Amino acid sequence: MIQEKLNEKVYFEHLENGLDVIIVPKKGATNYYATYATHFGSLNYKFKAPGESEVTVVPDGVAHFLEHKLFEEEDGINALDKLSKIGANANAYTTFNHTAYLFSCNSRFDEAFDILLKFVQSPYLTDENVEKEKGIIGQEIKMYDDDPDWQVFFQLLTALFGDKHAVSKDIAGTVETISEITPEILYRCYNTFYDPSNMVIAVAGDVEPEKIIEKIKASVKAQEEKPEIERYYGEISPTVFKKRVENKMDVSIPMAALGFKDTKAQKLRKAGYKEDNSDLVKRAVAIEILLSMISGDSSKVFEELYSEGLITKSIGADFTFEEDYAYSAFSFESNDVDKVVERIKSEIEELKEKGLDEDIFNRTKKMLYGGLVRTFNDPTVAARAFVTDYFKGISSFEFVDAYQNIDKAYVESVLNEHFNFDNMALSVVLPNN
Amino acid sequence: MERKEIKLMDGIFLHCMKTDRFKTNYICINMMSRLNREDVTKNALLPLVLRRGTKKYPTMKDISIKLEEMYGASLDTGIDKIGDITNTQFVMDMISDEYTLDSSKLLKDGIDLLCELLLNPISKDGAFNKEYVDQEKETLKEIINAKINDKASYAMERSIEEMYKNEPYGLYKYGYIEDLDKIDERVLYNHYLDVLYDAEFHIYVSGKFDENEISKEFTNYFSKVDRNFLNWRAQDKAFGAFESLGDYLRAPDVKNSNSVVEHKEVIQGKLVLGYKLRGHSAKHDFYSMTMYSTILGGSASSKLFCNVREKKSLAYTIRSQFIKHKGAMIVSAGIENDNCLLAKECILKEIEDMRIGEITEEEIHDAKVNLVTRFKSMNDSQIAMISWAFGQMLFDGDEDIQTVIDKINAVTKEDIMTVAQRLEPSVTYFLTK
């Protein structure tokens, strides 16, 4: 299947073994980019593998731990090193719902791609190399423990969804949970989640899509597509778990995030990116427009708070929707967090009452559309966006039409039901003194 | 890509980088003046006040609305140290006109807005708007205080302060809170006029455009400025040459090395080791030192990454970097608070190995491959190309990326040892609980 927008073509292919492939070809590009990703993230601590009757529970931080270990190879040479030697910059990351291995280079793409395909498919885990990694990941965890933005963010997730759901677990786990990780546990997760039917490959750059597909078919094991893995995320607190969470750190100013739990997005979501998920995309676009209209740089809220000295930089605002949860969040720094919250609330109330201004609505649409065009400036950035959206069950191109076509009445209806103060929670990190 | 430098008037240069590979256009105005203790806070405050309003767009809200109408164009100001020079940047990017849904002329609008911001601020009777200046003093106070929020960059910043205690480069680029009382709307406005009077301007534009058209637009704006450019950078070696000549053959002065331990409420310790290159020349030492730093701690196959992180599990983040304009080499690591001595010993062992030439051909080869990829990949990013061209122009005229690559490839082990033996320890800094 080929999709075409904004002078770019993107190829989608679903192979017989269940693997999905996304290719963003770009004639004349200097850089190549490839990523090999699995639908396995920090949310997946409890699951039932296809064909099994028992539910498996693993320690927090396993997906991330595996990400670190997969570079290790039986010949003793780290795959990161192999890629680096031929001029490819490799990396990997773990999110709530996926783990991705990637590299970029500007020559010897075929060799680098072979290394990527091989190392992701050949885990080499020993007691010794697993033990050694605990020190390194321990330092990674502690680095995040000192990061106030990260702490504000996780506090908010717990406040919104409760501590029984996997979204409240730190992506890397804790020093205690990773101490329980063994090669057996890692192999068990690897065998379940690193199966072609649970994975996607994306490639960008000056490549021929047919050749890429052929290469992938030759290197990824042939088998029948497996059924879906059953995933258990834990329970979401039916109401907001805590209205307010606070913590203290060595920071110069209170940092806060104000979140609204969304209850509709996951009901709109259908499995697989080939399904029609346009309602989900439409909802996401509506909420993005609203966030920008409520507190963006040209909003009344921002103007007033700034001139009163209550904020000194832009208010961040994002809508996040994943397989089992969704929320929007405003983030800001202020010496009077409660006043900022009050102002955002009263603006929402006023918009609900008066409706959205037509001119501002159109201007906001235009701005967000421009942002999308930029995404496709760089094939590497575009490929990343396609992978992230793939795990949400959508194609990034769907946003292009959605931003052009969305109407004000629909956005107003979303305003009335998404920004419900009963679904609101506040997370704050305060200075120590 | 087609490059052309046009001298608009004395000390004001337009650098055209024409390319049709992107969907965006970039404009970047660099305004350079001397860095010194007296002006550092005023320099930092100036762009904050300028972005508050212009004669044509009197409020921040007016500017934001204009940016949104321009399909979400982005406008940013920034301040940086380049050696002992202070550089204030005014940057905009916007989508190319062909991707707009109407007949917008975004690049023209962008030049207009950026020049308005820099050259036509709101002012009256020789002073800026008092309210704007008072508010931005508060904003700057927040920015200065926020130094502590990111612990890794705080440790780096503190180390540089210690290394260059009595030099302009040791100043904090955002200035000092104690200066703010002495600055008001009149003082700042006078400073603004002083800066415009003899600042050196380098304007970069990347994308699709007609250079005659844009040079006319810039000339129109800049011809109204009261200027007397004396080419201070060429005259004053200390500020402009990025060299410290004269003490090239002096023996390493180890006694001057300073040890600083700072206590904060942190979970992870941050260790920084700072070195100075004796008799450095940004022009001549760049290639050898870049190779040195890449081998020591610049990639996943570097000595620090392989030995201190992978073999000893002492850190997650560990790297070295070379600051070319000052000839500084800095190693930084996030470690367990109790591991300071051990980590330091391990890092020093790698630095000593570099000095005595324990460098394999393989390490040299890997570093070259890594750097070539890095330099080539700049071709896919407009902002990377602009930054590189600007940095090059400052100390070496006009080397293109291929020449740089050839020079990197020509670096020998002896070259690396020679710079390694000129490195002098300057500071050991540890941020701990």
List chain B domain ranges. Answer: 2-237, 254-432
| Domain assignment present for A237 | no
Whether residues A219 and A259 share a domain: the answer is no
Residues 6+ apart with CB under 8 A from A168: A154, A157, A158, A161, A162
Per-residue pLDDT, averaged over B100-108, amounts to: 88
Domain match, A162 and A296 both: no
Residue B395's pLDDT is 74
Contact A85 B373 (CB under 8 A): no
Are A254 and A221 in a shared domain?
no
What is this model's ipTM? 0.88
pLDDT category at B366 given cuts 50, 70, 90 is very high
Is residue A367 within 8 A of residue A292, CB to CB? The reply is yes
Q: What is the tally of structural domains in chain A?
A: 2
Say what percent of chain B tops pLDDT 90.
79
Whether B245 shows a pLDDT value over 80: the answer reads no
| Residues A222 and A309 placed together within one structural domain of the fold | no
**Closest partner CB to A376 (pick from B23, B73, B370):** B23
Give the confidence band of B247 by pLDDT, cuts at 50, 70, 90. Answer: very low
Could you tell me how many helices (H) and strands (E) chain B has, helices first? 16, 13
Chain A: residue nearest B432 by CA?
A146
Alpha helices, H only, A56-182: 62-69, 79-85, 109-121, 127-145, 148-161, 175-179
- pLDDT (0 to 100) of residue A399: 92
Among A265-274, B58-67, B154-163, B196-205, the least confident range: A265-274
Verify that A222 and A270 share a domain, yes or no: no
Residues of chain A positioned with their CB less than 8 A from the CB of B64: 296-298, 302
pLDDT (mean) for B155-176: 94
SS3 B32: strand
Residue B431: both structure tokens together: 């941020």
* DSSP designation for A277: -
| pLDDT class of B101 with cuts at 50, 70, 90 | confident
Decide if A133 touches B, using CB distance below 8 A.
yes
Q: With an 8 Å Cβ cutoff, is A297 touching chain B?
A: yes
Take residue B417 and report the two structure tokens written for it: 């040892």
Kindly indicate the confidence band of residue B250, based on its pLDDT and cuts at 50, 70 and 90. very low
Q: Is residue A368 domain-shared with residue A300, that is, in the same domain?
A: yes
Q: pLDDT digits over B388-411, tens only?
A: 999 888 876 667 888 899 999 999
Q: What is the pLDDT of residue B256?
A: 66
User: Chain A residues with CB inside 8 Å of B334's CB?
Assistant: 139, 142-143
Of B282 and A75, more confident: A75
Q: Closest Cα partner for B233 from B87, B398, B17?
A: B87
Whole-angstrom distance, CA of residue B199 vs CA of residue B33: 5
Given a cut of 80, whether residue B238 has pLDDT beyond it is: no
Helix (H, G, I), strand (E, B) or coil at A153: helix
Phi, psi of A383 (to 5 degrees): -60, -40
Structure tokens that stand for B261 in this block: 């331990």
- Looking at chain A, which residue has its C-alpha nearest residue B67? A367
B109 falls in which pLDDT band (50, 70, 90)? very high
Sequence-ordered alpha helix ranges (H) in B241-334: 282-297, 303
A55 by Cβ neighbours in 10 Å (0-12 / 13-18 / 19+) ranks as exposed
d(CA B65, CA B58): 12
Mean pLDDT value across residues B368-382: 92
Q: Which of A288, A261, A267 is nearest to A279 (CA)?
A: A267
B189 vs A3, which has greater pLDDT?
B189
Do A216 and A307 fall into the same domain?
Answer: no
How far apart CA B55 and CA B182 sit, in angstroms, is 26
Spell out a b/e string for B108-129, using b for 16 or more CB atoms within 10 Å of the CB, else e. Answer: ebbbbbbbbbbbbbbbeeeebb
Contact flag B268-A249 (C-beta cutoff 8 Å): no
Please state, in angstroms and rounded to a whole number, the distance separating the CA atoms of residues A136 and B106: 48
Check whether B248 has a pLDDT greater than 50. no
| Residues ≥6 apart with Cβ < 8 Å to B353 | B303, B359
In three-state secondary structure terms, A106 is coil
pLDDT digits (tens, 9 = 90+) for A102-154: 999 999 999 999 999 999 999 999 999 999 999 999 999 999 999 999 999 99
Q: Is residue A63 part of a domain?
A: yes
Minimal Cα–Cα distance from B1 to chain A, Å?
12
CB-based contact A84 B300, cutoff 8 Å: yes
Q: Is A253 on the interface with B (CB under 8 A)?
A: yes
The Cα–Cα gap between A66 and A72 comes to 10
On chain A, the residues whose CB falls within 8 A of the CB of B135 are 306-307, 309
Of A91, A78, A76, A65, nearest to A183 by C-alpha is: A65
Count Cα neighbours of A312 within 13 Å in the Cβ-side half-sphere. Answer: 23
Alpha helices in A260-407 (DSSP H): 265-268, 278-295, 300-307, 337-354, 358-375, 379-390, 398-405
Q: Is the pLDDT of residue B38 over 70?
A: yes
Question: Does A86 contact chain B (CB < 8 Å)?
Answer: yes
Q: Are residues A106 and A202 in the same domain?
A: yes
**Residue B201: per-residue pLDDT:** 97
Spans of chain A, pLDDT less than 50: none
- CATH number of the domain bearing residue A302: 3.30.830.10
Averaged confidence pLDDT in chain B: 92
Query: Which residue on chain A is closest to B106 by alpha carbon?
Result: A370
In this prediction the pTM is 0.91
Q: Give yes or no: residues A288 and A339 share one domain.
A: yes
Is there a contact between A111 and A143 (Cβ–Cβ < 8 Å)? Answer: no
Q: Is B87 helix (H, G, I), strand (E, B) or coil?
A: strand
Report which DSSP code applies to B373: H
Q: A27 lies in a domain? A: yes
Q: Is B254-432 CATH 3.30.420.40?
A: no
Core vs surface per residue A305-320: b (16+ CB within 10 A) or e: bbbeebbbeebebebb
Shortest Cα–Cα distance, B252 to chain A (Å):
34
Q: Are B135 and A309 in contact (CB under 8 A)?
A: yes
CA–CA–CA angle B23, B25, B29 (5° rounding): 160
Check A8, A13, A67, A304 and give the catalytic one: A67
For domain B2-237, the CATH superfamily is: Metalloenzyme, LuxS/M16 peptidase-like (3.30.830.10)
Interchain contact B60–A (C-beta under 8 A):
yes
For residue B425, what is the enclosing H or E element? strand B423-432
> Helices A127-145 and A62-69 meet at what angle, rounded to 10?
120
d(CA A212, CA A24): 11
Instruction: Kindly state whether A228 is in contact with chain B, defined as any CB-CB distance less than 8 angstroms.
Output: no
Is B314's Cβ below 8 Å from some Cβ in A? yes
Whether residues B69 and A368 touch (CB distance < 8 A) is answered with no
φ, ψ for residue A310, nearest 5 deg: -85, -20
Whether residue A260 is found in the same domain as residue A360: yes
Look at A370 and B70 and tell me if their CB atoms are within 8 Å. Answer: yes
- Whether residue A322 lies in the annotated active site: no
pLDDT value, residue B339: 95
- Shared domain for A261 and A193, answered yes or no, is no
Chain A neighbors of B129, CB-CB under 8 A: none
SS3 A207: coil
Sole residue written with tokens 């050259």 = B119
Query: What residue numbers bound the domain in which A160 lies?
Result: 2-232
Note whether A251 and A227 are same-domain residues: no
Q: Find chain A residues with C-beta within 8 A of B60's C-beta.
A: 297, 303, 306
- Measured in angstroms, the CA of A237 and the nearest CA of chain B are apart by 31
DSSP 8-state symbol, A235:
P
Q: How far apart are CA B344 and CA B16, in angstroms?
A: 47
Looking up tokens 């030049």 gives: B111
Please enumerate in sequence order all residues whose Cβ is within 8 A of that of B388, keeping only pairs 6 or more positions apart, or say none: B378, B401
Distance to chain A for B372, nearest Cα, Å: 7
What is residue B233's predicted lDDT score, i.e. its pLDDT?
A: 78
Query: Mapping DSSP to helix (H, G, I), strand (E, B) and coil, where does residue B412 land?
Result: coil
Q: Do A250 and B265 touch (CB under 8 A)?
A: yes
B342 to B314, B347, B432: CA distances (angstroms): 9, 9, 15
Phi, psi of B325 (to 5 degrees): -70, -20
Of A147, A298, A380, the CB nearest to B68: A298
Report chain B residues whose CB lies below 8 A from the CB of A380.
380
